[in-house]
Every structure is written in C-alpha cells, then in structure tokens.
Chain A
C-alpha cells in the first residue's frame, strides 16, 4: 500500500482567511467570533457566529471567466474555491492550462448547499419569475457544486466527488482521499469541506437549543468547549483544503511535506446503544478511534496531541471519556487535548477540514493552540483527565503524532492520525 503525505494546505476560517493568518491566529489564540445584528433581528437566541470576515471573493476573479465569476452566488463554493486554490498553489502547482490531470482527484464535502442562494431561487419561483432566473444555478445548488467547481478550475481527471456526513464531513473527506491514494487509485487528491455563512442553517440549530445564548455581549467568550459554564456551541463557516499525495510522487517533485497520514477510519454507531440521530454512541466512537490507532500500527502512548471535536455542549465530557477509554490513558497520562472551535466556533460541515489543517499546522510548527474560555474545566472532565492536559495558554512543544476526530448527526464518526514525515 502506498504511503500518503500532505503537501499543500489552504483555509478560509473565521480567524484567518489564509494559511499564514490562520497559523498566527492559532498560535496567539485569536478568536474570529463576532456579534451580528441580523441574527438578533431574526429573533435568534444566539447572535454571535464565526464568519471569515475579511474574505474578499475578488481573489477568485483572476481564476474564473468573467461570466462564471459574475454568476457565482454560492458562498459555499466561494470559500471552497479559495481554500482549494491556496492548497494547490501552496503545494507548488499553478492554476492554469487546458490539460487534464488524470492523476489528481477531489473529495470536497458539505452539509447542504448555500441556503441563501437556494432561497433566492425559491423566491424567483414563488414570484413567477423562474424564466428570468438564468442558467448558472443548479451547478451551484447541487451537493457536488464545490467539488465540481474545483475540478473544473484545475482540470482534475480522477474522481471528483462530494461527501456529506454532517459535522464529520471534513475529516471524512480527508480519510476518503487518503484511502484513494493508499490503494493506488490516485496519485494526488484535494480533500476538504465547506460551509456557508447562512443564518437559515444556524437558526435551525438555535431552535434545537444547542447554541450558546449567554455571550451575545462578549462574542470572543462565547465558544467555551470543556468549560464549566459552556452552554452550547457557536455556529461558524468557512472551508479547509489539503493536498494529499503519494509519497513517491511528492519526493520525485521535491515537494514540501507537511506530514504523513498514517491511518484513517470512518464508521457509525448505528444509532443504537445510546447513539441516536443527534447523540453519538460511545461504542461507535471508541471503535472508530481504536481502529484508526490499530491501522496506524502505533501505541496510544505515542500520541502527543488530540485535536478533538469538542463543541461546547453537554457532549464534551462524554467525548473526553471516550478518548480516555479508547487510548486507555487517564489522569496525567492523558495526551494534550484541544479544539480550534474555541477560536472559530463550530464551522459545521467545514469544521473537520479546517481542524485537520489546524492539526497539521500545530504538528509542523511545534505548538499547541490554546483552548480559550476554559478557565474552569467541567468537574466531570477532571475526574477523567488532569487539567494540565487541556492547554489554556500557547505551548511550544515538539510533536510527532497527532490524532484528529469529528462526530456528526446520524451517529457518524471519522478519525485520522497525522505523523511528522520521516524516511
């Protein structure tokens, strides 16, 4: 089986809209969460969100034809294209040419299309104006819109597809790309996921009472994973993209290697044994993590950092318990653990890919990003692990092995292990 390495990274995150800005934000614990009046006007309980505020879609103008750029309404696709192009150029490739690259494919997922765009199309229908709508909408509203736009821009001739597994989508995409290269069916894959800044989606979570309503006057304090007074997650948006490449191909072209993917696994808890549409089955989560570790052929003690899912809801303590059981590491023996959600909010279907990028950056630059707003840790968590494992100030540390997981509605799980590349 082929070894798979990461040779390119791209990101559009609430606290940094490219890799250098995102790296600085992670290192310094900079929050990208802000108050939005339009959420308050819509009578939402949670009026804060993580939105890539400085994102300027004009950067796409030089890559797209004038007609395509003019008709591109979908924020989902705009974020995806920006992150994918950054990862592609970061890997040393140029965006040009008419050739088909049959060795490269793309798995780029999302939960739903840009619902604001869908609403626009529905509005035209409702007003009897459907004949005035134009022709460039279905390509943006289809689930595979993002991967199709990326594939077209870069001339990708291998598999070009979109996955969709709720909050597990991003990490699942990276695992799918890894398996494709590992099995010899592609030399290179762009993997990632994206989420639009849509109040229509966030409002549905607000109605489920899972968003934090207590910090509308203090946005940077709103995302509080593992904190004693966490009261729900903060919605977010953006995109993350990674270039995964067969080791041999990467070495041949002297590519910069950010790390190796040792293993990845995706499963479901079956919505049984405590698992449901919205709650993860511990057995499923533990099995997913254990299988990933076994496939990597490492001992759990080799893991330096866990980049968790950890949203700031009542599920955080269960997640910690599941990690401790799967790794059989407790108390002071538990690895460092963090989540970039305290800085970005929960970017829903984009979260996994943004957090995979964050995991690679931390491993590559030897730092651990602080968990903001976790001055007092939930006592139930402290019964399982030592408080020092939850990093609250930036830490510089040589790290060789990082494990990352995400869990999504539908009781679906994905887990991946990154390691510094060594010959």
Chain B
C-alpha cells in the first residue's frame, strides 16, 4: 500500500479526534508534524488511532512502539513496516 494512501486514511482517522482548527492543520501535515504539539491531539487519543489503524490494516503494533509514535512520519513508517511484514508472512 502506498504511503500517500495510508496518510489519507490516517487523516480521516485523526479528523475524528481534532477540532476545526486541527482539521485545517491536517491539510498541511508533513512527516515532521507532531501529533500533540502541532495538531492538538491528546496523546491518549493517539493510542486509539493506532488501534483503529491496526484493525483497518490487520496489523499489530507493540505497546512500546506506540509510545514513540509522536510524529506523522514515524506513524507511517511503522504502519508500512508492519504491512510489509504481513505480506512476507
């Protein structure tokens, strides 16, 4: 799955958790965008979003990895890596 497609899905998922200002900021997010500092996402909501992504893509992300997913780029990297592992299996 292409990175851009995962990003679009991620934006939809995040959109459910942020206010209008955050939604506007979502349009311009980059790999460096910090979920908490840049788009006002609560860190606990980030866990919820990761669980949604796990269910959406049929992957599993370790707890200790989730705690480190503070930016969009890191999140996309992990989802892509888990999807690649899944294909190999």
In the bound assembly, the distance between CA atoms of A276 and B63 in angstroms comes to 20
- A 174-217 binary contact with B (CB < 8 Å = 1; else 0): 00000000000000000000000000000000011111111000
CB-CB under 8 A for A208 and B47, given A231-B62, A231-B63: yes
- B 55-78 binary contact with A (CB < 8 Å = 1; else 0): 000000011101110000000000
Contact B47–A229 (Cβ < 8 Å):
no
Is B1's beta carbon under 8 Å from chain A? no
Contact B42–A210 (Cβ < 8 Å):
no
Contact size range, A: 10 to 19
Residues of A within 8 A of B4 (CB): none
In the bound assembly, the distance between CA atoms of A54 and B43 in angstroms comes to 39
**Which DSSP category, helix, strand, loop or mixed, fits chain B's interface?**
helix
Contact B42–A276 (Cβ < 8 Å):
yes
In the bound assembly, the distance between CA atoms of A216 and B45 in angstroms comes to 27
Kindly report which residue of chain A lies nearest to residue B54, judged by CB atoms.
A209
Kindly report which residue of chain B lies nearest to residue A229, judged by CB atoms.
B64
Residues of B within 8 A of A209 (CB): 47, 50-51, 63, 66
Residues of B within 8 A of A278 (CB): 43-44
Contact A279–B63 (Cβ < 8 Å):
no
Q: Which A-B residue pairs are the 10 nearest by beta carbons?
A: A314-B67, A231-B64, A278-B44, A209-B63, A232-B63, A209-B47, A276-B42, A231-B63, A209-B66, A279-B43
**Which DSSP category, helix, strand, loop or mixed, fits chain A's interface?**
loop
In the bound assembly, the distance between CA atoms of A214 and B65 in angstroms comes to 12
Residues of A within 8 A of B50 (CB): 209
In the bound assembly, the distance between CA atoms of A230 and B67 in angstroms comes to 11
Pick 24 A–B contacts, CB within 8 A, sort by A. A45-B63, A207-B51, A208-B47, A209-B50, A209-B63, A209-B66, A210-B63, A211-B63, A212-B63, A214-B64, A229-B64, A231-B62, A231-B64, A232-B64, A276-B42, A276-B43, A276-B44, A277-B42, A277-B44, A278-B43, A278-B44, A279-B43, A314-B64, A314-B67
In the bound assembly, the distance between CA atoms of A213 and B42 in angstroms comes to 24
